[in-house]
Amino acid sequence: MTFSLIQQIAVGFIIAALLLGFIRLLIGPDAANRVISADTMSVTVTAALVVFAAYFESALFLDVALVYGAIAFIGVIAIARAIKGDSA
């Protein structure tokens, strides 16, 4: 599917959002800041994968998005446990 102008602008905003999240990922003072930016990015990437599915007209990417979201969620939970450290 070819994207209309509005859709292209939307894709541009998604890319900009991912870039901003990546900046926070790079400069974030500590691990928690990096994780929250990675979390936000993962939600955005899930949406981006759905847009991919629309672009390639293939429902396969929807499964990818679902599994990606699940794995990102588990990852954030695991890192949060690590940040919490020894305080149970």
Partner 1 sequence: MRLAADLLLLTGAIFCFLGALGLIRMPDIYNRIQAGTKSATLGSIAIIAGVGLLYPEWWSKLLCIIGFLLFTSPVSSSVLARAVYLSGVKPWSKSSRSKLSSSKPGRQQKTLNTQKPLNTQGEES
> Could you say whether residue 66 binds partner 1 (CB under 8 A)?
yes
Helix intervals (H) in 1-88:
5-27, 31-56, 60-84
10 Å Cβ neighbour count for 54?
14
> Could you say whether residue 2 binds partner 1 (CB under 8 A)?
no
Q: Are 65 and 39 in contact (CB under 8 A)?
A: no
Q: Provide the binding-site residues for partner 1, judged by CB under 8 A.
A: 1, 4, 6-7, 9-14, 16-21, 23-24, 32-33, 35-37, 39-41, 43-44, 46-48, 50-51, 53-54, 59, 62-63, 65-66, 69-70, 73, 76-77, 80-81, 83-85, 87
